[in-house]
Structure 1
Amino acid sequence: MSATGSTPDLSRCSLNTATVKHATLSEAVDAAASAGLGAVGLWRHQVQEHGAEKAARIVSDAGLRVSSLCRGGFLTAADEAGIAAALDDNKRAIEETAGVGTRELVFVVGGLPALSVPGQGPRPDAGPGDRDVAAARARVADRLAELAPFAAEHDVRIVLEALHPMFAADRAVISTLGQALDLAAPFAPETVGVVVDTYHVWWDPQLRSSIARAGAEGRIAGYQVCDWNLPLAADPLNSRGHVGDGYVDFPTISRWVAETGYTGDVETEIFNEEIWAADPRDTARTVGERYARHVLPHL
């Protein structure tokens, strides 16, 4: 709270622009600034639309920071062409991250090669090796080893995001914060870190110890919040809700994150058709109000 105790301090509260998916970059930034938030998390298509320099200026002119850029990753291809394409795209993402004024580039590492498009079924020609989860994780480690020096040269941190196990087939073969930390371990913490995303990790029995480990290793590069709603949407990816509307224990998880000494931004990132249809300014105000009620008192 502020010194008067009446106005919540929203300086660490960030609106990830995926939460207002149908807004332009300028509209999303205006919504965040109008709600008194301190930062926005950007997506690459917005940066590419304007160019990194102009996108950064749109944010800074509104008095905001860029908390992170989404997303790099999708590193599990097994063929030479797929590997080369992934390396090329992620090097561009690293350059965009540096250009837009943040160090944090969120990586969704990718699912099984058997899946040609996330959310769809396996390719008809997929072979047994395309379903090898252990081999896919090993390729993630190999690609990180190739990308980490390039990220370090640009003063950018690769931020590994563990996704809920139901997304292991098509989006991320790492499902726990512990797995993300194991992949990050060979690299300096300022080059490869992790993000704690409540939607994806709230269920993990080892979450407290993994958060403590991440803090001790200096690897917490972001804290993302949104709720786990039921029933799940037809596309489970879009089942996220506003903080406080579902089943996540935000006070407890926020305390665990705070105990590590983390003082960075707290991003609200929601994929939800109804929330996307709402006025972006209303959504940003709700983001600030829910942060102030359910997260801020425990940081």
Structure 2
Amino acid sequence: MVELWETGLMDYSEKLDKPVKYTEQHLKELASKTSTVDITNGHSDEIIGNMSNFTYNDGVLSADVSSNVDIKGLGLSPIFNVNELIDKGDYLYPWDIEIINVGLVDSPRNKLLFNSIKEEEVEEVSKETIDALVKKQEELERTIGSLQTQIKQKDKMISEKEDFISEYKSKVEELSNGSDEIEQLKAKAAAYDEIEVNKREELLNKISEGNDKIKEDFKDLDYATLVKLDKAKILDNPGRGTPSTGNPNVDDGNDLPPADDVYSQEEFEKDLAAIGLK
């Protein structure tokens, strides 16, 4: 059995600004939880043997070296894995320590202490720092999640906006076509109104037969009513105004209707009553 490590302050000045303190508790913990570790050629990946039967006695951690390894004139340099180095002011205190492997080196052990802790494991990180980093990571994850949700909402809004623009353009095109039709209908309506005005004037003149009072009374009637009135007048007064059989080339006064053929006010009143306008 050979001595591997001892209690006390170990100098790692090439990597740490403070020594590391190994206590009796540390070495007892290593002895109780370590069964076997590999021995490597130097600090390489080449395994040349192993150490077992770890014990602690009077401030020293010891173990057996496999028979195939000759350690005469050489030194043993254990590599520790430390979960955290706690700053105690004058020294650093290892928290949760274990042996990874032991390197067989050319120099005596007491001159190889700086090799005993992996470089990537010696950085001093307190529990408070770790908690702060974890909290920061959680905050970043929440922020990323929120941003992803916002991106999805923006994408949805853009899609809806594009659909709206497409529908709007379609409606504008429909309205444009409808406007053309409306303008055509307006033109037709204006032409119809003009025709109706002329026809209405012709009907008024025809029905009143020069009677200004009748024309005045009829001027506010719509075109359809004037048409009905004209039809009623023709049916109620057949043959009125028929010319005589005299010489058509001689104005002998016989072409004028007799006095009783003039469309009188009384007859006008009767015609109004016949078509329900009085």
TM-score, scaled relative to structure 1: 0.17
TM-score, scaled to structure 2? 0.18
Q: Which structure: larger Rg? A: 2
Q: Which has the higher strand share?
A: 2
